[in-house]
Amino acid sequence: MPRYALLVEYHGAPFAGWQRQADQPSVQGAIEDALAKLEPGPHTIAAAGRTDAGVHATGQVAHCDLTKDWDPFRLSEALNFHLKPQPVAIRACARVEEDWHARFSAVERRYLFRLLMRRAPATHDAGLVWQVPHQLDVDLVRDGAKHLIGLHDFTTFRSVICQAKSPVKTLDEIRVEAVEGFSGPELRFHLRARSFLHNQVRSIVGTLERVGAGSWPPERVREALEARDRAACGPVCPGHGLYLVGVGYPDDPFAG
């Protein structure tokens, strides 16, 4: 059967997450329903990462198997037609080898977290940022983040329901950018790794917010990491500031 890679963008607010659920809307379910409009029958797609409720994506990658030999552009156009009016879009589509897998062929995931710093409620960015009513010291945040770069046991920074076999991960990058966003001053956290644990990014950002607010010294991040204890983590921030922005593969199926 022909296999197709899909580059997917979505607004996470209406969904209970990526993964299909029997009684709640999901991004996976929306795309599988659209596929069924093109080729009747059950469809099961796989994604590079299962984002949680409220989490957004600009660069999620999934793959599907179809009976018909579709032109990739026509397939993406047909899916986008049937996905309306849901906030899900297929940005690109490519034919891939039958053993190519959106999850297992990936070598890198990239996430962005947006933190808005202002007292007045966000209007235009509501549901797209995590808002705090105070300013954060970006230099303190960066000092705290340095302790998390590299190979570590991230038990402190993963959910108790995380299903990963090991808490040991290599975090290749945390870059903290201070910008003047559309709604006001933001800190944007750029994180890159081969793979992430469940709630790892949200746990890290919530902890670093405490550092930037002056409630934690930067060294406490290292102490929390070394504790390997979920109770040592700072607050877990909400999902609606988080975006899956890219997935890396040895050969980019969407290049060219």
* Per annotation, catalytic residue among 33, 52, 71, 99: 52
Q: Cβ of 32: how many Cβ atoms within 10 Å?
A: 17
Residue 115 near residue 226, CB atoms below 8 Å: no
Residues 6 or more apart in contact with residue 123 via CB below 8 angstroms: 183
Distance CA 166, CA 87 (A): 34
Q: Is 250 exposed, middle or buried (0-12, 13-18, 19+ CB in 10 A)?
A: exposed
Q: How far is CA 3 from the centre of its chain?
A: 24
Provide the β-strand partners of residue 150: 171
Q: What does each C-alpha distance from 195 to 43, 96, 106, 150, 170 come to in angstroms? A: 26, 22, 9, 13, 8
Alpha-carbon dihedral 62, 63, 68, 74, rounded to 10 degrees = 30
Q: What is the distance in angstroms between the CA of the first residue and the CA of the last residue of the chain?
A: 24
Report yes or no: 13 and 54 within 8 Å, Cβ to Cβ: yes
Q: Residue 184: helix, strand or coil by DSSP?
A: strand
Q: Give, to the nearest 10 degrees, the angle between helix 138-145 and helix 200-212.
A: 130
Any catalytic annotation for residue 52?
A: yes
Residue 19 and residue 29: Cα distance in Å, rounded? 7
User: Which positions are annotated as active-site residues?
Assistant: 52
